[in-house]
Amino acid sequence: MAQTTGQRRQQANMDIKQLRFLEALAEEKHFGRAAAACFVTQPTLSARIRQLEDELGLPLIQRGNRFEGLTPEGERILGWARRVLVNYAGLYQEVATVKGTLAGQLRLGIVPSALPFSARLTMPFMRAHPAASIHSISRTADEITKSLESFALDLGIAYLDREVPDTLQTLELYPESYVLLVPEGEYFPDRDSVSWQEAASLPLCLLSKGMHNRHLIESAFQAAGCDVEPQFQSNSFLALYSHVSNGYWATIAPGFHARIAGLNQGVAAIPLVEPAVVHPVGLLWRQDEPLSPLVSAFIAQSRQHLVAETQPA
């Protein structure tokens, strides 16, 4: 006797690979790139996702001549798929921990301004746990929050002076202050500090509008009673540093970035005052129960770093 569609669905076996393929397609937004990321052929990935659609009885993908996005149903299923994948990874991390080894991969989202600081946490963590790895992704503060809530990230390093959802927990890591980066000897030579008003008089290159760090910088200028309109904007600190190191331009950067700029001969970093602007930057994670072993270990490592920083030299 022929089987009905419902009977075939009941006998189908959803597996982790199907969920991974769906997540990869959502991230890559291209069948070929998603297949490459999963180390399978494109026909294999497409067939497995169609099997998942058949089993669920829902269209998950908007298909045309190319990938056109997830359907509304697909977006909802993706949220559950990511949740399952996080728990699946946590299970294997727990098994490895029981066997005496912490293994697996952490997905860590970091705001661009905190990238230089992040090595203070990631390096000791990976030295302590050589079987673990970290995938670091540069994202805006809003993107980090959304990705944590949607299970697309495990941890984030972002600004804490903004509304943080109740579903997330935080740990303050350091206060972010600002410096003016200038070609050495060209502006304010031998000065120990510079006011924001003085900085506004220079030819500035700044981060792009829409980035949280740019918003903080504009707020500081407004507090000093001045507005700025940079001639050059970029979403990359590296591009800003390149302009400054070639002369004429100046930019404003977090204090930790001054160390990177200091590697470029001919760039001076001068603290900004009037007002003295400070913003807290911290670690964010979901209030999962239980936390995965990797997330728990990274939080513990971060707390150890804070304790070490407060110890007298």
Q: How far apart are CA 270 and CA 308, in angstroms?
A: 27
- Looking at domain 101-174+280-310, its CATH class is alpha beta
Q: What is the model's pTM?
A: 0.79
Architecture of domain 5-79: Orthogonal Bundle (1.10)
Q: Where in the chain is CATH 3.40.190.10?
A: 101-174+280-310
Q: What values do phi and psi take at 158, rounded to 5?
A: -155, 180
What are the helix (H) ranges across 179-236?
196-200, 212-223
pLDDT tens for residues 56-112? Answer: 999 999 987 788 889 999 999 999 998 899 888 889 888 888 888 899 999 999 998
Q: What is the pLDDT along the chain (313 residues), one digit of tens a residue?
A: 444 554 444 445 788 999 999 999 998 999 999 999 999 999 999 999 999 999 999 999 998 778 888 999 999 999 999 889 988 888 988 888 888 889 999 999 999 889 889 999 999 999 999 999 999 999 989 999 999 999 999 999 999 988 899 999 999 999 999 999 999 889 998 899 999 999 999 999 999 988 888 989 999 999 999 989 899 999 888 899 889 988 899 999 998 877 765 556 788 889 999 998 899 999 999 998 889 999 999 999 999 988 877 655 4
Q: Where in the chain is CATH 3.40.190.290?
A: 178-277
Q: Where in the chain is CATH 1.10.10.10?
A: 5-79
Q: How far apart are CA 162 and CA 143, in angstroms?
A: 13
Architecture of domain 178-277: 3-Layer(aba) Sandwich (3.40)
